[in-house]
């Protein structure tokens, strides 16, 4: 018919490049990975020396739960993360706001943060032990330090991203400075701060293993370390799975908090 009428449809060239959400996809991805892994283990393609099978990992987790150690490990780690993250975040928010608002704090703070941020916190462990002992304090401090710097950077960039026009507006209505910080800058910086929270919560989990290297009887990190030292790879992977679950949970909670706090977007 195209030849008959001399008409051809205009080809469609749009579409694509618009990743959307598929609800089933994450579950399918996990299922596929685990199924493939179990298949490789069962067929001997993946020898137990190299990697335990998912079934063994589940057994190890079940064993851990049955012995009651699971709650001890998770409880100890959660409390360290909660304390360390909260302290690091509060301090980071304070310093980040100061750097976002005052020229002196910014000029002094940026080079100091740039110098201290890249230091691997694990390298400071011996010092932390000398200063703080081997009980909970150095473990919390390790996490708090790891969380502090990204929070500072995230916060002051978030403050920078608050439109200046809003601050000028507030000044034009004679809002006092504390009110400008509280009513304009803090909510305006909230998207950036929450993005930083996503990063720092992951950092807290990553540092958990380092934090629990020294003198920890319980904790997911110390459990993973011990399993590694004992070459109990099924328990090692079980511990890693616990960390992943913790990470997913925290990410889910943060997503909810974001949806609630940023409903205006």
- With CB under 8 A as the contact rule, which of the stretches 3-11, 175-183, 193-201, 241-249 interacts with another protein? 175-183
Tokens of 154: 């995230």
User: With binding defined as CB under 8 A, does residue 129 bind another protein?
Assistant: yes
Cα dihedral 133, 88, 150, 201 in deg (nearest 10): 100
- With b meaning 16 or more CB within 10 Å and e meaning fewer, what string describes 88-101? bbebbbebbbbbbb
User: With binding defined as CB under 8 A, does residue 126 bind another protein?
Assistant: yes
As measured in angstroms, the least distance from the Cβ of 69 to another protein is 10
> Closest CB to another protein among 91 and 101?
101
d(CA 252, CA 246): 10
- Contact, 149 vs 238, CB < 8 A? no
Interface pattern 141-170 for another protein (x via CB under 8 A): ----------------------x-xx-xxx
Residue with tokens 């011996």: 126
d(CA 219, CA 78): 8
- With CB under 8 A as the contact rule, which of the stretches 33-41, 76-84, 87-95, 177-185 interacts with another protein? 177-185
75, 120, 133, 255: which one contacts another protein (CB under 8 A)?
A: 133
d(CA 100, CA 153): 9
Interface pattern 51-90 for another protein (x via CB under 8 A): ----------------------------------------
d(CA 224, CA 33): 22
Total number of residues that touch another protein (CB under 8 A): 41
Tokens of 28: 């399918």
User: With binding defined as CB under 8 A, does residue 39 bind another protein?
Assistant: no
> Closest CB to another protein among 21 and 231?
231
217, 249, 253, 256: which one contacts another protein (CB under 8 A)?
A: 217
d(CA 217, CA 62): 20
> Closest CB to another protein among 116 and 179?
179
Choose among 156, 184, 148: nearest CA to 99.
Answer: 156
Q: Where along the sequence are the contacts to another protein (CB under 8 A)?
A: 48-49, 125-126, 129-130, 133-134, 163, 165-166, 168-176, 179, 183-184, 187-188, 190, 213-217, 222, 225-226, 228-232, 264-265
């Amino acid at each position: 018919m195209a030849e008959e009428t001399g008409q051809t449809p205009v080809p469609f060239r749009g579409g694509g490049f618009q990743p959307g959400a598929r609800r089933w996809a994450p579950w399918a991805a996990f299922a596929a990975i685990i199924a493939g892994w179990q298949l490789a283990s069962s067929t001997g393609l993946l020898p137990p020396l190299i990697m335990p099978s998912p079934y063994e990992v589940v057994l190890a987790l079940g064993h851990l739960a049955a012995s009651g150690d699971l709650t001890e490990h998770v409880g100890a780690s959660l409390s360290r993360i909660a304390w360390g993250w909260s302290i690091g975040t509060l301090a980071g928010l304070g310093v980040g706001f100061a750097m976002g608002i005052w020229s002196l704090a910014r000029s002094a703070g940026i080079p100091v943060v740039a110098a201290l941020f890249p230091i691997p916190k694990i390298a400071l462990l011996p010092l932390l032990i000398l200063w703080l002992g081997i009980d909970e304090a150095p473990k919390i401090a390790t996490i708090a330090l790891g969380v502090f710097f990204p929070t500072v950077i995230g916060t002051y960039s978030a403050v920078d991203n608050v439109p200046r026009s809003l601050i000028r507006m507030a000044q034009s209505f004679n809002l006092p400075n504390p009110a400008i910080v509280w009513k304009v800058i803090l909510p305006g910086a909230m998207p950036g701060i929450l993005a930083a929270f996503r990063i720092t919560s992951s950092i807290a989990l990553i540092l958990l293993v380092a934090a629990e290297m020294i003198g920890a009887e319980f904790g997911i990190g110390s459990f993973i370390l011990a399993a590694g030292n004992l070459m109990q790879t099924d328990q090692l992977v079980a511990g890693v799975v616990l960390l992943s679950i913790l990470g997913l949970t925290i990410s889910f909670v943060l997503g909810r908090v974001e949806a609630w706090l940023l409903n205006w977007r």
